[in-house]
Structure 1
Amino acid sequence: MSEAKRLHHSIFDGRQVLVQCQSPKRRQTSSFSIEIKGLPPNVRAEDIQRWCNAASVTLGRASYGRSTGIQHVRDELSKFGPLESFDLVPSGPRPTKLKAFGQFCTPEAAAAAAEKLNNTPQKMLGSPLWSELIYSLKYLPPWKQFMALRDDLVALSDQHADCKIRYYEADNEGRAVDPVCIRIYSSDAKALGRAKIAVETMLQGEVLASDGKSVWDDFFLSSEGTEFL
């Protein structure tokens, strides 16, 4: 009990930790345990053992997870200026890495964040944080339109090697999303401009015409017409 009180609210590896004594079992006379909360995710048992002079240490799984890490990254970015948007890329239920796009209100803030945060150790994450200054655009076509254009979009991506063209048709649980997110980005503004023209031309499609006049019928507004299209 005295060790728990001594260590409670003390500092371990730059963090203030919470310590409490675990309730002993009936007739227990030795090997009493304490529980330590607030440790960094990459903590080692031997470091804790030396810190609190324990006979042994058992590490459990980190109680903080994805949402805490995401908020930490947002907070780090916001130190350089207000964010207009922060979009997390869908990555499946158990990703080893997460990717996000942060858009700042000013180019100066974006440049400063990319320079200062790139490859910086993050105790909260248990790994470095990588950042890159890019130019980016996002499109949200309906799922049906995306499915009709997906193969063409893949071919377009191969044609624009200096600009990444990515689409996200499912959420973190693997469920289809509607609309679908298409994002194009590059560190080269001119490369992004070329890809932008190609993607927007594809999304706009071509006007169906007959004898020089556009072809349209209100049938296409009905559910049957939508299925036909």
Structure 2
Amino acid sequence: MMAVPVRARAKRRSARQSRAQQTVQRILDAAAARLAADGLVAVTTTRLAADTGLAVGSLYQYFADRDAVLLALHQRRMAALAEMLDGDLARLPARAGWETVVDHLIDHFLAAVTEEPGYVALIRFVASRRRHDDPLAVIGALEAPIAVALRRIAAGLPPAEFDVVLRVAATMLSALADLALCQDDVKARGAMLYELRFAMKGYLARFASR
């Protein structure tokens, strides 16, 4: 039997990986659409399989369960938020202070989670994962946009300290946003979101002058 050249094998593997990535994005697109249209309870593996034309067994080749789909959807949303925030901060004037950077971070985050239908329920779901099942995966999703802001606020931090500050800030934002967004009373929610902003600024002020 003639051996398949290494380059040909690599090309086939790359094509398979590309198709797999496309399928993952198709599943996440379907989950986002179902979440927006019918709410969190409607996002099930059975419905996602039907929405994407996949067999349920095929869907499980990409995600272990429904929870994994929802967490991946949250991670994708936070990655997109980081990209938007990066562009927004790049347009800020050089004289803009660190508090302005924090305001932009929180404004973008709140817009991302409150303006898309169904996303508040998703945030509350992933917060429950933070408390019980997979805290680092949930916090890690928030680190992408916060890292963008933190590089503007405290660019001189040594890498090891930067990572610690990033993890603490992400944990604060996740916990306080969950507390605020679970409030049904608009006034109570607004008050807690104000405290979230104040708490983030209070913590990051320690590093802004470095």
Q: Mark yes or no: TM-score above 0.5.
A: no
RCO comparison, higher one (Cα < 8 Å, 6+): 2
Report the structure, 1 or 2, having the larger strand content: 1
Q: Which has the higher helix share?
A: 2
Q: Which has the larger radius of gyration?
A: 1
TM-score by length of 1: 0.27
